[in-house]
Structure 1
Amino acid sequence: MDGDHRRRPERCPGGGLDAVTPAHGAGVMATGVLSVGLSSAGAGRLSAALLVVAVGWWLVLAVVFAARLVRRPERWSSEAESPPALTAVAATAVLGTRFALLGRYPVAWALLALAAVAWLGLLPVVLVRRGRRDAVPGSAFLVTVATEALAVPGGVLAAALRVEWPLVPSGCLLLLGLVLYALVLTRFDFGQLRDGAGDQWIFCGAVAISALAAARLDAAVRRVSGPGRPGTAVTVLDEAALALLLVSFACCLAALCCEVRWPRPRYDVRRWSTVFPLGMTASAALATGQTSGLRWAASAGRALVWVALAAWVVVAVGALRRSGRKAVTQ
């Protein structure tokens, strides 16, 4: 998070698998959350196709970074200290959420446990090693994204299985994520909205995933407590989900206006971090609309999920073209 982070390109040392960096994990995040959103919007086949892509991508990254830990531990340690390393947590948790929605509960629990272990190992390192920087880029908001990503499958599993025990830790993660967001926001370099290569959008995605976590916990509390016992928790979560969703819409609109004012059409791997907030905001709107009965939120979510899919296709084409050019020159 050095002071020249605005225009510095993402470094991809070497070629082939050696060029893979933790920033590529945002692609799994974006693909996974699009699968969740499309499922909620009723596009089951597209959702399933993207889930297959996300799982395959996740497996490739897992193998690459496991091999790097063995063969190049110095580079692995350096990358583990950077905020993009937390995409591993968020991507794994997002896949856990999708499998939970499919009713594949053992797989969902396993992915949630794996994400929690990675979160416990990576978050303190990122906070300590990078906590002394003055101005931070959008990727710094991944501390919130990774934290809230653990709360979402906790809420989904609690609602599906009608068990109460995941609600307390998931609620604590929701609150912790919001605290971390506030801390990062005070040091965020807003110049990134003008100069960022794509990861500036994570400041939108961090709010959106907080809204999704609140909506999923809201639904879980309603299901566990029963229709006759709404309670204060439901009211608080309901209002929090709506408020966070509205803030997420406002953040996305601000980021989009900056993209129009200062166009940056060239592909960068950090553009996957632009797709992720769009898909996450769509999923949050769909979940909030379903839980709270707000038709406008559900309608907005259904519309936005197709916008997010279009953005995914554009970035995917850019990634393939970049890979093709590299293959020709090597």
Structure 2
Amino acid sequence: MSIVPGPGWWAGLPPAAGAAVMATGILSVALELTGHRAVSLVALVLAVALWLVLAFDFGSRLLSDRGRFRAEADTPAALTAVAATTVVGTRLSQLGWQSAAAALLLLAALIWPGLLLNVLRHWRRRMPGGAFLASVATQGLALLAATLATVCRADWLARAALVAFCLGLVLYVAAFLRFDLHEVVGGAGDHWVAGGALSLSALAGSRLTASPVWTGQVHATLRLVTLVALALSLVWYAVLLAAELRHPRPRYDIRRWATVFPLGMTATACLSVAGPAGLPWLVPLGEVLMWIAVGAWLLTVAVLLSGTARPTAGRR
């Protein structure tokens, strides 16, 4: 298989390619949190470049290929468009570009309801890990809204973020009840989102607890939910890693980006929760997990460039 892109190569990218933006963007956030600013900026540039490519393709299909757009909008992978937008927005806010981050939050909020309803209408029993993207997209909105609420001192945005956070938890439970547990030993990569969605919930929770809007019992409850989400995500991490070692799946599949994203998200959650939760030991754990995620990112790119890729696998 040739890896040299031809004219219009982006048209062959399935919605699952959005997970590559999510993975690269969240690694940029983690690298910034650990002081690796130069590498973080490189990752951000890559994430933004791929986001722009996918945004152009998304718009082109919406305007000129409605049949394909409707077919792909029904799949859970379509929600990577929302999640990727919020992850990039979160990194831009971290960089101090609040106007750009707010614009991305608005864009994500506009496309989220339609995509979510389309996906939920096509939910079924025994689904792959992509089912958890309903929670991921919603928690992405909560994360970016909570981040901007704290920076911009917008209390109304903090309240909106709390609503999205609670809805994301409900969607997680609903997705778990439909998740095919056999995916743990046979999934193509997106089964890792089962843990990544909880890591994102913990990260969003840590940003909510940082807001002065929440005090007393509400703040204590948010802190508890955040810690429980992080603990469960670490349990998922251990289980999924053990399953990968026991049942290796070395061949590239585009859904492998949905493995890298949870790896990076778990690391970022540990780094972010450590301070507000008063658990400093989470910082070295987060750093170790971050470098594991960086290694997984590099390995995924290497396997992709080796020519063993199956570019259409993400359309499942």
Verify same fold: TM over 0.5.
yes
Residue 294 (structure 2) pairs with residue 309 (structure 1): yes
- The 5 A counterparts of 1:112-127 are 112-127=105-120
Post-superposition Cα deviations, 1:213-249, rounded to whole Å, max 9, x if no partner, equal 100101123xx57xxxx42222111121111111100
Any idea what SS the aligned residue of 1:304 has?
A: helix
Q: Which runs of 5+ in 2 are unaligned?
A: 1-7, 312-316
- The 5 A counterparts of 1:275-290 are 275-290=260-275
Question: After TM superposition, what 4+ stretches of structure 1 lie above 6 angstroms from structure 2?
Answer: 323-326
Q: Counterpart of 2:10 in structure 1: which amino acid?
A: L
Equivalent residue, structure 2, for 1:204: 195
Residue 41 (structure 2) pairs with residue 48 (structure 1): yes
Residue 146 (structure 2) pairs with residue 161 (structure 1): no
State how many pairs are aligned. Answer: 305
Inter-CA distance 21–325: structure 2 relative to 1 (3 Å threshold): closer
| 135, 146, 161: which one aligns with 1:170 | 161
Supply the distance in 2 between the matched residues of 1:138 and 1:99 (Cα, whole angstroms). 28
Equivalent residue, structure 1, for 2:4: none
Deviation at 1:111, TM superposition (A): 0.3
Residue 68 (structure 2) pairs with residue 75 (structure 1): yes
Equivalent residue, structure 1, for 2:230: 245
Equivalent residue, structure 1, for 2:252: 267
Deviates most, 301-310 or 231-240: 231-240
Equivalent residue, structure 1, for 2:103: 110
Any idea what SS the aligned residue of 2:156 has?
A: coil
| 242, 245, 254: which one aligns with 2:239 | 254
Inter-CA distance 52–323: structure 2 relative to 1 (3 Å threshold): farther
Deviates most, 158-167 or 266-275: 158-167
Q: Which runs of 5+ in 1 are unaligned?
A: 1-14
**Matched-pair identity in %:** 45
Residue 52 (structure 2) pairs with residue 59 (structure 1): yes
Alpha carbons 2:254, 2:310 under 8 Å: kept: no
Equivalent residue, structure 2, for 1:186: 177
Alpha carbons 2:189, 2:257 under 8 Å: kept: yes
| 208, 220, 240: which one aligns with 1:217 | 208
Inter-CA distance 325–258: structure 2 relative to 1 (3 Å threshold): closer
Q: TM-score, normalised by structure 2?
A: 0.93
Residue 23 (structure 2) pairs with residue 23 (structure 1): no
Supply the distance in 2 between the matched residues of 1:269 and 1:21 (Cα, whole angstroms). 9
Any idea what SS the aligned residue of 2:210 has?
A: helix
Q: Counterpart of 2:97 in structure 1: which amino acid?
A: R
Deviation at 1:322, TM superposition (A): 2.8
Q: TM-score, normalised by structure 1?
A: 0.89
Structural RMSD (CA): 1.8
Any idea what SS the aligned residue of 2:155 has?
A: coil
Deviation at 1:62, TM superposition (A): 1.0
Deviation at 1:323, TM superposition (A): 7.8
Deviation at 1:162, TM superposition (A): 2.2
| 141, 144, 165: which one aligns with 2:135 | 144
Equivalent residue, structure 1, for 2:304: 319
Any idea what SS the aligned residue of 2:126 has?
A: coil
Supply the distance in 2 between the matched residues of 1:194 and 1:211 (Cα, whole angstroms). 25
| 29, 32, 35: which one aligns with 1:36 | 29
